[in-house]
Amino acid sequence: MAEKRENSVLFSLRELQQIEEERITEEEEARRRAEEERIRAQMEAERRAREEEERRRREEEERRRREQEERERAEREERLRLEEAERRARIEAQAELERQRLQQEMEIKKAAAMRAKPKALIAIAAVLVVSVGGLGLYAWKKSAEHEVEKQRAAERLAQVEAEKRRLAEEKAKLEAEISQVQQELDDLSKALASAQTDAEREAIRRKQAAAKQRLDALRNKGKRGGRGTGKPRPEKKDTIERNCDPNDPLCGI
């Protein structure tokens, strides 16, 4: 019995020792995990701090770079503006000097010409005055001749228009008479077809013959009128030569 109790006590002691060892192991494992977590968190914080610092450094460098580029651009534009202003000033100064030089040369030449050829200038002026006067007189004469010619042309045109109207009226009158005679012949033909006696037919034939004679006379008159009637008018001799047919009523218009 004593041996059993001893074995039981030993077993209990071993269990207690094992439990203690397990507790110690768990505590050590917990401390180890906590330490690892702390180290990992610290490393993560350090990493984030480094990244944030790197980001701020890059932003600062980018800001400085942009500022430097902006200053260089402004300096370059200002330099170009000054160079352009200087170039324009040089060109304007050169142009002004050239203008003054040309003006001085012209004044020198003018003074030399005035001293060397005063008589020639007077003669040229006299010739110009005479020429202008002659041209004025010639222009006046030409204008007067032109007005006279315009008046003559207007008179000839009026005569031609009057002659055209007269011929048109005569033609219309002649055509009306011919139409009337033709209508009379048509009526006589109808009357001849419906005549009952020889005496009636003979009378109608005589009327037809007379109407045909009038119709032929009217047609011959129309042909003569188309060729032109009336006495020829004497031609007027113009002092100005014409390059058209003298028989043309519109010649000279």
Reported as a single tens digit per residue, the pLDDT across 35-57 is 999 999 999 999 999 999 999 99
Q: What is the pLDDT of residue 152?
A: 82
DSSP the chain: -HHHHHHHHHHHHHHHHHHHHHHHHHHHHHHHHHHHHHHHHHHHHHHHHHHHHHHHHHHHHHHHHHHHHHHHHHHHHHHHHHHHHHHHHHHHHHHHHHHHHHHHHHHHHHHHHHHH-HHHHHHHHHHHHHHHHHHHHHHHHHHHHHHHHHHHHHHHHHHHHHHHHHHHHHHHHHHHHHHHHHHHHHHHHHHHHT--SHHHHHHHHHHHHHHHHHHHHHHHHHHHHHH--SPPPPPPPPSS--SS-TT-TTTT-
Q: Compute the mean pLDDT over every residue in the chain, rounded to the nearest whole number.
A: 79
Residue 186 lies inside a defined structural domain of this protein: no
Residue 226 lies inside a defined structural domain of this protein: no
pLDDT higher than 60, residue 240: no
Average pLDDT on 147-167 reads 85
- Residue 181's Cβ-count burial label (10 Å; 0-12, 13-18, 19+) is buried
Q: What is the pLDDT of residue 135?
A: 67
pLDDT higher than 90, residue 68: yes
Residue 138 lies inside a defined structural domain of this protein: no
Q: What is the pLDDT of residue 249?
A: 42
* Owning domain of residue 39: 7-116
Q: How confident is the model at residue 9 (pLDDT cuts 50, 70, 90)?
A: low
* Lowest-confidence region among 119-123, 171-175, 196-200, 240-244: 240-244
Q: What is the pLDDT of residue 218?
A: 86
Report the number of distinct structural domains present in the chain.
1
pLDDT higher than 90, residue 67: yes
Q: Higher model confidence: residue 31 or residue 229?
A: 31
* Lowest-confidence region among 16-20, 123-127, 150-154: 123-127
Q: Tell me the percentage of the chain whose pLDDT exceeds 70.
A: 73
Residue 45 lies inside a defined structural domain of this protein: yes
Residue 46 lies inside a defined structural domain of this protein: yes
Residue 38 lies inside a defined structural domain of this protein: yes
Residue 193 lies inside a defined structural domain of this protein: no
Average pLDDT on 172-192 reads 90
Residue 165 lies inside a defined structural domain of this protein: no
List pLDDT tens digits, range 216-232.
988 888 776 655 444 44
Do residues 222 and 174 make contact, with C-beta atoms less than 8 angstroms apart?
A: yes
The b/e string for 57-91 (b: 16+ C-beta within 10 A; e otherwise) is: eeeeeeeeeeeeeeeeeeeeeeeeeeeeeeeeeee
